[in-house]
Chain A
Amino acid sequence: DIQMTQSPSSLSASVGDRVTITCRASQGISNYLAWFQQKPEKAPKTLIYAASTLQSGVPSRFSGSGSGTDFTLTISSLQPEDFATYYCQQYDFYPRTFGGGTKVEIK
């Protein structure tokens, strides 16, 4: 199975900060990488797929990059509604696997 390693597991940031979350796959997955956002007690929401394609309706302050084994999710200017947990997932192979999550908290 492909292991997905996210870092950091948590971070504290202020509104307006630039935030970067990384995700590493244990083997190459081309660009078959998605990012999801989950707020407490809510269902996940798809932000990005194909490593860098924004899902419809997702603000342009979110961006993704990477290919192969190393990927990045960037929030260019953190907004109050962005405080949440973020997960990466590879969808190149079954079983699908998720990263452990990154909790973005208010500083």
Chain B
Amino acid sequence: EAHLLESGGGLVQPGGSLRLSCAASGFTFSSYVMSWVRQAPGKGLEWVASISSSYGSTFYADSVKGRFTISRDDSKNTLNLQMNSLRAEDTAVYYCARELLVIARVVIDYWGQGTLVTVSS
């Protein structure tokens, strides 16, 4: 069964940077689109970014475009999210998610347990 384990969360000052990682196991990581989804305290889910398999095409929410970079290391079965110029509104639990190809689209089928990022002075 697929397993996703996030790490790298913590407290960071506004304007600072943080790098999240997600260690994947139990499946052929290189074959899957992977995504980050976040949830601010007491709020709903917000898609952040996705990266395709093979060519590594990337997609971002407007709220993070130009500040966050999603990447993957298929040799280490690891998904990353480099977060720069952090703002208070980036405070959230960040979930790593695997996307399953179903009828020409990909959809989240497995989620990690999440890692908390707090942006505060």
A positions within 8 Å CB-CB of B: 32, 34, 36, 38, 43-46, 49-50, 53, 55, 87, 89, 91-92, 94-101
Number of A-B contacts (CB under 8 A): 60
Task: Give Cα distance in the complex from A92 to B102, angstroms.
Answer: 11
Contact surface of B with A, Cβ cutoff 8 Å: 35, 37, 44-47, 50, 59-62, 95, 100, 102-103, 105-114
Q: A87-B44, A97-B47, A98-B46 are in contact. Are A92 and B105 (CB under 8 A)?
A: yes
Bound-state CA distance A100–B43 (Å) is 8
Quick check: A95 and B62 within 8 Å, CB to CB? yes
A50 to B61, CA, bound (A): 23
Q: Which single member of B45, B60, B111 contacts A45 (CB below 8 Å)?
A: B111
List 28 interface pairs A-B (beta carbons < 8 Å), by A numbering: A36-B45, A36-B108, A43-B112, A43-B113, A43-B114, A44-B37, A44-B45, A44-B95, A45-B111, A46-B109, A46-B110, A49-B100, A49-B102, A50-B103, A50-B107, A87-B44, A87-B45, A89-B45, A91-B105, A91-B108, A92-B105, A95-B60, A96-B35, A96-B47, A98-B44, A100-B44, A101-B44, A101-B45
Closest beta carbon of chain B to A39's beta carbon, Å? 12
Q: Determine chain A's interface SS by DSSP, over half rule.
A: loop
In the complex, A101 Cα to B113 Cα: how many Å?
Answer: 19
Task: List A contacts of B95 (CB < 8 A).
Answer: 43-44
Q: How far is the CB of A70 from chain B (nearest CB, A)?
A: 19
Separation of A32 and B105 alpha carbons in the complex (Å):
8
